[in-house]
Chains A and B, each alone.
Chain A
């Protein structure tokens, strides 16, 4: 979809699946030039299309959902009915065209559909296939269905979020899905590297649960070493004081932390409380932790009438770690994110201009891009089936008339 030279130009990816965990892998790779075909059916479109707001003008519609488009930019969208014999033939042809197949159905479903790895590699021997699901393809609970919003709880992240004596907290959405999709993208690229060197394909079994645990590898090793169970402690950190969020003017908050006596001295100077540095009790981490309420009062008093963003600028000018707690709206005005073009607007036929999120890295010589808005359902059937797979016009029409693209 792009005229420029991109890192993954020529890499062809086919996605069977929906929601976040599978499609977000393809989105990241599409942003660096991979040709990605997102497969749905008319009767079973991607669940993100209809089950998750927001919608254009608040009206749910198959092509008016911003959640679906947000995770499927820069891709081609096709429909195929996998329950239709001709549709299955078309799907197999598509999988044969791809270098990489990504699926996130429940274990066994893709095999029962006739699109499992062992089947596909018969005609595409160096195929790389990635399956991602909650528990992985094996194990006593392999067949557990699930969404990432809940799996994040099983994997420990929710239990470690919240006040010490309060309930656990959600990190908004299917937090763990994006861990697994990020790590899944790394796995796909590593398999591609191996294929370049050896000519061998690969089958990659991703358990979203296990991926999430890598983000808590330290606390898990600590438990295995000592039996110590990690607990939620609001914003505290064992190695820093102060370390927290402080209310500012209006709805604003500022997060800041000090990791050494020098940093604490700079903070005290910046807020006009150098007197605190003369208190011998505050010259050690332990002392500052035991005097937490004294420091809290000083910081709250200083922050209360200040704009959070201005306060952060002032503290940073004194080399103190600080940042305003950005609201989600703030992210679109954040000077750093604007400067780095994190948000890139692309036009969608129903939604109009939508801001798409670029990955968190870029490459100096082959930079990526958001090349197109997310596709409407079946938008690219003709392009993909005719141009990519080489169907003649008659074959394409016959397939369509047989219901293969329903």
Chain B
């Protein structure tokens, strides 16, 4: 597989490499590959330095295209590399080649030539309209997400085309829109517009769209060292959670208020009014405020309750669950020291595929230091 992508497409090749593809990654001579972001998303690929915009680089690419299965690119709207990665041209060299083009808005349509980075893609997808305080600015996630959504869809697209090739014997063009990819993340928000004529909006630390009465439910609760995500759910899991929460509060001697008399078997969050929800949330807030993130995580797990702490990267890096599953993988970094990466996203037949290649080593043989 040939990975000729910019930032928008890095994850696509990483996912396919983790699934076993032999991925060759191209970077222009002198391009900076030192950032953690670059390393995290280009580990497990073979790096080749080449300027694909000059005739020599172009010839080399064409030679590799002749025997490749998949080429992934992020042609810049309106720029010369759109010609370089033109499907018809590449298909003439190798009819079995699958070309995956990842662009902000897709290769066709009135905005095909529009420029966008993560924040514009998040805006165009509607995701920003759902994040932030109701009377404040719409927000994106502080670490880019649209590139990852596009990369994920591109990996699915590449493999779908590969499945088709078994039948047809031919490659084809996979046209990926990052804008559309992020719409996947919106869950069922569009159905409210379509079915009820209601436009979901951002609700700060609350969740909307759960109740036919329009009641909002608190999601994020301050605790002693951060925040907890806890939601009053219905259904069997919600009932168990709510019952266990009340039992936990009783053990701690916390004043239950209206929670003391609720029959959780009959509680239906889709029908509760805002007044009822607000009254229930007062004692819950007092209780959660007395806990640490780790206390909540362990207590909720023991009681089989729904709810998690709001983790930061330090919490995640030290989570025993991830360590036990061998999620982290140590690979040699550019300075000869080991780097701890996220491992492959799937465990296959009981084993997690290893990262077999460091992220910026064109000369060395593939090597793995230690699968954590």
Stretch binding the partner chain, chosen from A87-95, A271-279, A363-371, A378-386: A363-371
CA A87 to CA B327, docked complex, whole Å: 38
Within 8 A of B (CB), among A320-370: 320-332, 334-337, 339-340, 342-343, 351, 354-355, 357-366
Judge whether A210 and B143 touch: CB under 8 Å: no
Task: Determine if B143 and A216 form an interchain contact, defined as CB atoms under 8 angstroms apart.
Answer: yes
Cα distance A179–B310 when bound, in Å?
18
Flag if B41 contacts A182 (CB, 8 Å): no
Closest A residue by C-beta to B78: A319
**Chain A residues within 8 Å of B123, by CB:** 245, 253-255, 323-326
B150 surroundings in chain A (CB, below 8 A): 360
Interface contact A327-B129, CB-CB below 8 Å? yes
A227-B312 Cα distance, complex, nearest whole Å: 12
Decide: A365 and B172 in contact? CB cutoff 8 A: yes
Q: With A55-B212, A140-B321, A363-B172 in contact, is A218–B154 under 8 Å at CB?
A: no
B184's partner among A58, A247, A322, A360 (CB-CB below 8 A) is A360
Q: Which of B305-354 contact A (CB under 8 A)?
A: 305-314, 316-317, 320-322, 324-325, 327-328, 333, 339-343, 345-350
Known contacts A182-B156, A321-B115; is-contact A363 B316 (Cβ 8 Å): no
Within 8 A of A (CB), among B106-153: 106, 108-112, 114-133, 136-143, 145, 148-150, 152-153
- In the complex formed, the residue of A with least CB distance to B114 is A316
With A60-B270, A172-B200, A340-B108 in contact, do A255 and B120 touch (Cβ < 8 Å)? yes
User: Which of B15, B140, B321 has a CB less than 8 Å from the CB of A209?
Assistant: B321
Residues of the B chain whose Cβ atoms lie less than 8 Å from the Cβ of A360: 149-150, 153, 176-181, 183-184
Q: Which of A78-86, A107-115, A183-191, A284-292 lies at the binding interface?
A: A183-191
Interface residues of A in 286-306 (CB under 8 A from B): none
**Complex-state Cα separation, A101 to B116, whole angstroms:** 39
Q: Is the CB of B159 closer than 8 A to any CB of chain A?
A: yes
A179 to B183, CA, bound (A): 12
Contacts of A159 in B (CB 8 A): 226-227, 310-312
Given A202-B348, A320-B115, A332-B194, are A219 and B152 also a contact pair (CB < 8 Å)? no
Name the contact of A202 in the complex, choosing from B138, B170, B339, B349 (C-beta under 8 A): B349
**Chain A contacts for B172, CB-based, 8 A:** 363-366
Interface flag for B163 (CB, 8 Å): yes
Surface stretch bound by A, among B56-64, B203-211, B253-261: B203-211
Within the complex, what minimum Cβ distance (angstroms) separates B10 from chain A? 9
Flag whether B39 is at the interface (Cβ < 8 A).
yes
A51 to B192, CA, bound (A): 14
A325/B138 in contact, CB under 8 A:
yes
Choice from A70, A191, A216 contacting B188 with Cβ under 8 Å: A70
Question: Are A245 and B138 neighbours in the complex by a CB distance under 8 Å?
Answer: yes
Set of chain A residues within 8 Å of B143, measured between Cβ atoms: 160, 215-216, 218-219, 230
- If the complex has contacts A53-B211, A155-B311, A186-B159, are A220 and B219 also in contact, measured as CB distance less than 8 A? no
Q: Which residues of chain B are within 8 angstroms of A224 by Cβ–Cβ distance?
A: 317, 328, 339-341
Most A CB contacts (10 A, CB to CB) among B37, B177, B346 go to: B346
The answer to whether B185 has its CB under 8 Å from any CB of chain A is: yes
A268 on the B face (CB < 8 A): no
Taking a contact as CB atoms closer than 8 A, the residue among A171, A244, A253, A327 that contacts B199 in the complex is: A327
Q: Answer whether A244 and B119 are a contact pair too, CB < 8 Å, given A218-B36, A235-B140.
A: yes
> Is B339 a contact partner of A170 (Cβ separation < 8 A)?
no
Q: Which residues of B contact A67 (CB under 8 A)?
A: 188, 191
Most buried by B among A11, A20, A221, A225: A221
A42 at the interface (CB under 8 A from B): no
Q: What is the CA–CA distance of A185 and B158 in the complex, to the nearest angstrom?
A: 11
B193 and A169 contacting across the interface, CB-CB below 8 Å: no
Contacts of A328 in B (CB 8 A): 126, 129-130, 186, 189-190, 192-193, 199-201
Task: From B180, B202, B219, B307, name the one whose CB has the most chain A CB atoms within 10 angstroms.
Answer: B180
Return B319 CB to nearest CB of chain A, in Å.
8
Q: How far is the CA of A167 from the CA of B141 in the complex (A)?
A: 13
Name the segment of B23-31, B45-53, B232-240 touching the other chain: B232-240
Does any Cβ of A come within 8 Å of B40's Cβ?
Answer: yes
Q: Are A147 and B233 in contact (CB under 8 A)?
A: yes
How long is the Cα–Cα vector from A211 to B172 in the complex, in angstroms?
28
Cβ–Cβ contact A218 & B179, under 8 A: no
Q: Can you list, as one digit per residue, whether each of A20-37 has a CB less than 8 Å from chain B (1) or not (0)? A: 100000001100100000
Determine whether the beta carbon of B114 is less than 8 Å from that of A225: no
Instruction: Tell me the complex Cα distance, A47–B301, Å.
Output: 22
Residues in B neighbouring A71, C-beta threshold 8 A: 188
Within 8 A of B (CB), among A140-172: 140-147, 149-163, 166-172
Report if A205 contacts B (CB, 8 A): yes
Q: Are A323 and B194 in contact (CB under 8 A)?
A: no
A334 x B137 contact (CB < 8 A): no
B112 nearest CB across to chain A (Å)? 8
Q: Report chain A residues within 8 Å CB of B116.
A: 321, 323
Complex: chain B residue closest to A193, CB-CB? B162
Q: Does A234 contact B (CB under 8 A)?
A: yes
13 A-B pairs (CB sep. < 8 Å)? A7-B164, A52-B188, A52-B270, A140-B320, A145-B304, A154-B229, A167-B227, A210-B342, A221-B37, A319-B115, A328-B190, A336-B110, A336-B179
Further contacts, 13 of them, CB under 8 A, given A139-B325, A145-B306, A150-B229: A140-B321, A146-B307, A155-B311, A171-B141, A221-B36, A222-B313, A243-B119, A255-B122, A257-B119, A323-B114, A331-B193, A334-B124, A360-B181
